[in-house]
């Protein structure tokens, strides 16, 4: 076994994994087929915004331990471990599109050295591993195959990977499972140095190393995401009730979440979840269930509730400012959450599009995601690079992402720029009292 690794796909997961392993004593090839992205990585930077990642990439590229390439031939034959981190978009019917997963496996298999381990990090439906092993066998190859699901969050990718709750590796080849768990032990040994370089807080933590069967590992990943999505949809359904009965969902969830058996995390009500993971993983899990004759009704309900949230937010606005057709509204926040420029399935984008579709003159602003949102926004949504400019002359502001810039918004100055007085806080981050003392009418979700 040499210490060379290839990472197929240099997106959020692949690039982070590759850069970190390059600091843990490995020589790592990161394969990125997109030329524009590849050129950025070669300069020692990431092509997306992720706190702390750039210095980690820069030093790894400069040291020669991280090599960015678009060539399987240059990297795969020399590697004892191949991580697959390619994208798994969803099909129109909600199932996972595994085209990249299978083509990456097939290409790599033709070049891998005997005994090299194939590690699946892309989120795939349960039983995909079995199908890839069959593919290898049909090619006359017998590589150890393990599933190593990823649990990092965008925006806190480095922290989550270095100070993990658990590393899960599943497969039938026990030696391969141990080797991959050991790779993470090497990363753990280097983590304080990496954290200092990335300026990420170092916390003493004993994450769990968990070895499982292949199918369990695959199911662990989607179940974890589905459960978190379920918590959010639960909080949002209680928020709808709180709106009717004049209760405050933040107070409710603070107290409900204080029960250690429940926990406060992922009970923040608002405009619903988005991103490249939850929507896709929930629909993927529902599809897996149906394929196996299991109706995951609880997840169907969570999904339907989530899909209703952008419309619910706009309906709340309408109830307060009347017919929307002749109104002007600013949407602050297009990223699917703060700390990232990612706009995939973003509720902020959905809200802006619902407004614009209803004839509202819509101005949108995001501190990081304006550029990325352009493609997904309706053509008549106007993008603004400045908060105060965005809110000029508007009847209402909707806050759709919990960026610190919006939490600490100068409400008095905003009010001066606006025509109307409505502040619809769709992420429940503003204190009602401070909005009201600035002369604004505060509307939250479930408050």
In the complex, which residues of this chain contact ligand UGA (CB under 6 A)?
A: 123, 150-154, 225, 228, 232, 266-268, 270, 273-275, 277-278, 336-337
End-to-end CA distance of the chain: 58
Task: Identify which of residues 150 and 395 has a Cβ nearer to ligand UGA in the complex.
Answer: 150
The rounded distance, in Å, linking the Cα atoms of 202 and 158 is: 11
Considering only the C-alpha atoms of the chain, give the largest distance between any 2 of them, rounded to a whole number of Å. Answer: 72
Task: Identify which of residues 232 and 314 has a Cβ nearer to ligand UGA in the complex.
Answer: 232
Q: Decide: helix, strand or coil at residue 107.
A: helix
Nearest Cα neighbor of 82 from 135, 122, 138, 44 is 122
The rounded distance, in Å, linking the Cα atoms of 267 and 265 is: 6
Least separation in angstroms between CB 103 and ligand UGA: 21
Nearest Cα neighbor of 189 from 26, 388, 408, 32 is 26
Task: Identify which of residues 27 and 221 has a Cβ nearer to ligand UGA in the complex.
Answer: 221
Is 85 an active-site residue?
no
DSSP readout, 205-274? --PEEEEE-HHHHHHHHHHHHHHHHHHHHHHHHHHHHHHHHT--HHHHHHHHHTSTTT-STT---SS---
CA distances from 441 to 70, 134, 365 (A): 53, 61, 21
Task: Identify which of residues 19 and 152 has a Cβ nearer to ligand UGA in the complex.
Answer: 152
The residue annotated as part of the active site, out of 157, 277, 286, 443, is: 277
Least separation in angstroms between CB 232 and ligand UGA: 4
The rounded distance, in Å, linking the Cα atoms of 121 and 102 is: 13
Least separation in angstroms between CB 220 and ligand UGA: 11
* Residues in Cβ contact with 383 at an 8 Å cutoff, skipping those fewer than 6 apart: 363, 364, 365, 370, 373, 374, 377
Least separation in angstroms between CB 222 and ligand UGA: 9
Task: Identify which of residues 90 and 154 has a Cβ nearer to ligand UGA in the complex.
Answer: 154
The rounded distance, in Å, linking the Cα atoms of 239 and 315 is: 14
Least separation in angstroms between CB 151 and ligand UGA: 4
Least separation in angstroms between CB 78 and ligand UGA: 28
Task: Identify which of residues 209 and 273 has a Cβ nearer to ligand UGA in the complex.
Answer: 273
Task: Identify which of residues 141 and 221 has a Cβ nearer to ligand UGA in the complex.
Answer: 221
Least separation in angstroms between CB 237 and ligand UGA: 13
Query: Residue 294, Cβ neighbours under 10 Å: how many?
Result: 11
DSSP readout, 374-418? GGGS-TTPEE-S-HHHHTTT-SEEEE-S--HHHHT--HHHHHHH-
Q: State the catalytic residues.
A: 277
């Amino acid at each position: 076994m040499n210490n060379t690794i290839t990472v197929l796909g240099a997106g959020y997961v692949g690039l982070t994994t590759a850069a970190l392993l390059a600091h843990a004593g490995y020589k790592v090839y990161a394969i990125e087929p997109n030329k524009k992205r590849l050129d950025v990585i070669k300069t020692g930077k990431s092509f997306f915004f992720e706190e702390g990642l750039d210095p980690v990439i820069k030093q790894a590229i400069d040291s020669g331990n991280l090599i960015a390439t678009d060539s399987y031939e240059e990297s795969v034959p020399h590697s004892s471990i191949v991580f697959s981190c390619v994208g798994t978009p969803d099909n129109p019917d909600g199932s996972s599109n595994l085209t990249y997963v299978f083509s990456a496996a097939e290409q790599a298999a033709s070049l891998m050295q005997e005994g090299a381990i194939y590690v699946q990090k892309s989120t795939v439906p349960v039983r995909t591993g079995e199908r890839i092993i069959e593919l290898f066998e049909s090619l006359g190859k017998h590589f150890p195959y393990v599933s190593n699901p990823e649990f990092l969050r965008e925006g806190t990718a480095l922290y989550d990977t270095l100070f993990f709750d658990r590393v899960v590796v599943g497969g039938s080849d026990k030696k391969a499972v141990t080797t991959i768990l050991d790779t993470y032990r090497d990363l753990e040994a280097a983590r304080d140095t990496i954290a200092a370089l990335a300026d990420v807080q170092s916390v003493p933590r004993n994450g769990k190393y968990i070895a499982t069967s292949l199918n369990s590992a695959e199911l662990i990943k989607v179940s974890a995401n589905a459960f978190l999505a379920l918590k959010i949809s639960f909080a949002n359904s209680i928020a709808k009730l709180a709106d009717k009965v004049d209760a405050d969902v933040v107070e409710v969830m603070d107290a409900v979440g204080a029960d250690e058996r429940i926990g406060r995390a992922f009970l923040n009500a608002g405009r619903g979840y988005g991103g490249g993971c939850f929507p896709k993983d929930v629909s993927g899990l529902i599809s897996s269930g149906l394929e196996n004759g299991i109706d995951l009704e609880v997840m169907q309900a969570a999904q339907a509730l989530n899909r209703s949230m952008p419309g619910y937010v706009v309906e709340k606005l309408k109830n307060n400012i009347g017919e929307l057709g002749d109104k002007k509204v600013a949407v602050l926040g297009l990223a699917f959450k703060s700390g990232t420029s990612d706009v995939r399935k973003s509720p902020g984008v959905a809200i802006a599009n619902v407004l614009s579709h209803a004839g509202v003159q819509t101005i949108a602003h995001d501190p990081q995601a304006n550029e990325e949102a352009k493609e997904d926004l309706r053509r008549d949504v106007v993008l603004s690079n400045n908060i105060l400019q965005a809110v000029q002359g508007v009847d209402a502001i909707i806050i759709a992402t919990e960026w610190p810039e919006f939490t600490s918004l100068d409400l008095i100055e905003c009010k001066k720029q606006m025509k109307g007085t409505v502040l619809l806080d769709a992420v429940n981050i503003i204190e009602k009292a401070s909005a009201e003392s600035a002369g604004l009418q505060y509307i939250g979700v479930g408050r």
